[in-house]
């Protein structure tokens, strides 16, 4: 009977907490639906390959392999052309020398394109060899008693280079910068949200609101207080990832720190904001599948440009979309602040919006 009494109390408690019930049943459906659209609505684009002075027969074969071939009269600065024209690779021919340059921001995509090109080159070389053999056999038939010299055709020499990374670059090398930012974002959000929630449940916030202090002063006080620990956590994560785990770093370490500090500021202000709408730590945890988990899918782990157009629009309201792009650009591609200024401004804009909303959220506790 006592066990039944405990069960009855839990039932009554859960039924009174409509928000917890709603999140418990709605959150899994939300995540499942998101997974469904992310993995079924992707529109795979053909790789784009620039070519210069390449045999027409090879170009024809490349197009048959579902490669969008863009022909150039001259190569110029190949790496700059690849970046400016958003190509996946560039192919040049000079006699028996073939030069391949891959963009390589997605190593798996670059390797798939390289395999298609190598197959095309091998097939074309085999056709030329077969044509030569046919010519030799025809000569033998015409001059049975004359010595026939068989020429061995040399396969073309292929030289491969990359705009970003090298031949040993793995998918994790492009993934690791995003994960660094995501873990900073996740833990700062969680710690800040639960810490402020504890301030409310213990009555500290109510006592603060009973004083003449302004709402904005409370918000900035919490931001500076918790922000100090967020900065320390960010520095520890970044230095550990770069110095201990030896994660790829082509750009400036200070730029990486700046991006992660902005991500931490966004996560801090967002965590404080959402804690105002949670009545318990359990409810705060339930914001994670709705607010935090979707961030990782739009941060660059999955190619956003291959998603459905409406999912691409959703990605652009996710802070990690800009944070992931900035971190990958600096750590993997070696870009500078000028190249990522749009991402930095977007993150700063998110922080301003969340801080402003925090000030208004405190109205539910006191009107000044």
pLDDT digits (tens, 9 = 90+) for 54-66: 888 888 888 888 8
CA distance 195 to 206: 15
DSSP symbols for 86-122? T-SEEEEEETTEEEEEE--SSHHHHHHHHHHHHHHHH
**pLDDT in the model for residue 80:** 86
> In which residue ranges of the chain is pLDDT below 50?
150, 367-368
Residue 289, both tokens: 């599948």
- The closest alpha carbon to 157, from 107, 93, 252, belongs to 93
Give the predicted TM-score (pTM) of the model. Answer: 0.79
**pLDDT in the model for residue 107:** 85
CB of 264 closer than 8 Å to CB of 192: no
- The closest alpha carbon to 263, from 296, 225, 290, belongs to 296
Residue 218, both tokens: 């409370």
| Phi/psi at 309 (5° precision) | -60, -35
Residue 248, both tokens: 């790829």
**pLDDT in the model for residue 368:** 42
Task: In the chain, list all ranges with CATH 3.40.190.
Answer: 48-162
Fold classification of 48-162 is D-Maltodextrin-Binding Protein; domain 2 (3.40.190)
The 10s digit of each residue's pLDDT in 296-320 is 888 888 888 878 788 888 889 999 9
| Phi/psi at 121 (5° precision) | -65, -45
Q: What radius of gyration do the chain's Cα atoms show?
A: 29
Report the 10 Å Cβ neighbour count for 305.
Answer: 9
- The closest alpha carbon to 330, from 172, 178, 184, belongs to 178
CA distance 58 to 62: 6
**pLDDT in the model for residue 343:** 93
Calculate the alpha carbon distances from 251 to 174, 177, 257 in Å.
14, 12, 11
């Amino acid at each position: 009977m006592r066990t039944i009494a405990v069960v009855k109390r839990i039932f009554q408690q859960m039924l009174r907490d409509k928000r917890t019930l709603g999140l418990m049943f709605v959150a899994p459906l939300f995540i499942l639906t998101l997974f469904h659209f992310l993995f079924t609505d992707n529109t795979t684009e053909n790789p784009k390959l620039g070519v210069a002075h390449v045999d027409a027969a090879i170009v024809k074969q490349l197009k048959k392999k579902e490669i969008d071939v863009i022909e150039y009269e001259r190569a110029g600065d190949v790496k700059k052309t690849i970046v400016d024209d958003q190509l996946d690779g560039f192919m040049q021919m000079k006699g028996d020398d073939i030069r391949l340059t891959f963009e390589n921001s997605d190593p798996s995509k670059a390797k798939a394109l390289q395999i298609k090109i190598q197959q095309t080159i091998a097939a074309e070389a085999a056709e030329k060899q077969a044509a030569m053999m046919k010519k030799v056999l025809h000569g033998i038939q015409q001059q049975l008693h004359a010595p026939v010299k068989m020429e061995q055709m040399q396969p073309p020499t292929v030289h491969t280079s990359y705009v970003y990374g090298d031949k040993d670059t793995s998918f994790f090398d492009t993934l690791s910068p995003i994960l660094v930012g995501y873990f900073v974002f996740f833990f700062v959000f969680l710690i800040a949200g639960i810490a402020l929630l504890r301030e409310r449940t213990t009555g500290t916030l109510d006592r603060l609101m009973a004083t003449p202090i302004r709402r904005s002063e409370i918000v900035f006080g919490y931001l500076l207080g918790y922000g100090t620990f967020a900065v320390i956590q960010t520095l520890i994560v970044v230095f550990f990832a770069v110095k201990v785990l030896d994660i790829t770093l082509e750009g400036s370490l200070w730029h990486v720190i700046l991006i992660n500090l902005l991500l931490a500021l966004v996560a801090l202000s967002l965590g404080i904001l959402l804690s105002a709408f949670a009545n318990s730590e359990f409810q705060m945890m339930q914001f994670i599948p709705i607010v935090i988990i979707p961030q990782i899918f739009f941060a660059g782990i999955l190619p956003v440009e291959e998603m459905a157009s409406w999912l691409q629009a959703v990605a652009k309201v996710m802070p990690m979309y800009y944070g992931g792009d900035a971190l990958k650009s600096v750590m993997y591609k070696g870009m500078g602040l000028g190249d990522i200024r749009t991402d930095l401004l977007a993150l700063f804009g998110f922080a301003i919006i969340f801080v402003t909303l925090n000030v208004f959220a405190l109205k539910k506790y006191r009107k000044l």
